[in-house]
Amino acid sequence: MSSERIIEAAKALTLKSAKLPSIRAIAKQLDVDPMAIYHYFGSKQMLLEGMATSIVSSVYEPKRRNNWERELAKLAVSYVSVLREYPGLLEAMLASPVVGPVFAFSHRFEAAVHGLDLDETAKADALHLFIDYLHGFAYAATCGGALSDELETEEVVRPLYLLFRGIQAQSTTVASTEVNDHVRQ
């Protein structure tokens, strides 16, 4: 028994049942007492964080030297695909204070925009807009069933070009002091 084995069982059950599994279901899958799960994860929340971090770590990892727009587009499609593959994961992550998946995703975002001359504020703002869009897209798709079985890259990526223009503008110009002054007022 190991934490990795428990996480893998939880992921497999999520794929099989299209919902996040209970501790009892994971224990049954592993043929152990549910208390054995709590030996490795003090709470269901800790197990969820481990599972979410493992899943987000499987998302496409952008290459630092490639075209940043193409790398962000690949990251976007990969992340939405993973959220679609693991039903309930997005809602669970948004409803709880998980940090592991945030670090894994932030690392990927930073790799994609590495070559741009963005200050930390612009980089953080771009990350927040990017992830909020992806979460909104994935959530809307689960609510209305708008996505076909095959996720079309264009469905996810086309709206991102507006964000890409903003990122590009921040990387080639001095930060907009007018906007920053207006926000401070």
Query: What letter would DSSP give residue 19?
Result: S
How many Å apart are CA 10 and CA 5, to the nearest integer? 9
CATH number at residue 148: 1.10.357
More confident residue, 177 or 16: 16
pLDDT at 185 over 60: no
> In this structure, are 94 and 131 located in the same domain?
yes
Tell me, yes or no, whether 171 lies in a domain. yes
Say if residue 33 is in the same domain as residue 99: no
178 has a pLDDT exceeding 50: no
Kindly report, residue by residue over 91-103, the tens digit of the pLDDT: 888 887 778 888 8
Look up residue 117 and give its DSSP letter: -
Q: Are 44 and 23 in contact (CB under 8 A)?
A: yes
pLDDT tens per residue across span 27-74: 999 999 999 999 999 888 888 889 989 999 999 999 987 789 999 999
Of the candidates 122, 130, 135, 5, the residue with the CA atom closest to the CA atom of residue 73: 130
Q: Are residues 157 and 111 in the same domain?
A: yes
The residue among 183 and 125 whose pLDDT is bigger is 125
Residue 4 is predicted with a pLDDT of 94
Q: What is the pTM of this model?
A: 0.81
pLDDT tops 70 at residue 167:
yes
CA distances to 47, 125, 150, 172 from 53, rounded to whole Å, are 10, 22, 24, 34
What pLDDT was estimated at residue 144? 57
The answer to whether residue 181 sits within a structural domain is no
pLDDT, position 150: 52
Q: Is the dihedral of CA 13, 14, 18, 22 positive or negative?
A: positive
Do 109 and 168 have their domain in common? yes
Indicate if the pLDDT at residue 179 is higher than 70: no
Token reading at 51: 């599972």
Domains identified in the chain, total number = 2
- 178 versus 59: the higher-pLDDT residue is 59
84 and 154 share one domain: yes
pLDDT tens for 103-150 read: 899 999 999 998 888 889 999 999 999 999 999 888 877 765 544 445
Residues 78, 23 share a domain: no
Per-residue confidence (pLDDT) for residue 117, from 0 to 100: 85
Average pLDDT of 155-178?
Answer: 73
Residue 86 sits in the same domain as residue 168: yes
d(Cα 164, Cα 160) in Å, to the nearest integer? 6
Task: Looking at the structure, tell me whether residues 77 and 163 fall in a common domain.
Answer: yes
Note whether 60 and 142 are same-domain residues. yes
**Does 36 lie in the same domain as 106?**
no
The pLDDT-based confidence of 174 (bands split at 50, 70, 90) is: very low
**Does residue 69 sit in the same domain as residue 11?**
no
Element (H, E) at 79: helix 68-85
| Domain interval for residue 155 | 54-175
Half-sphere exposure of 147 (CA within 13 A, CB side): 21
Q: Is residue 117 part of a domain?
A: yes
Kindly state whether residues 106 and 139 are assigned to the same domain.
Answer: yes
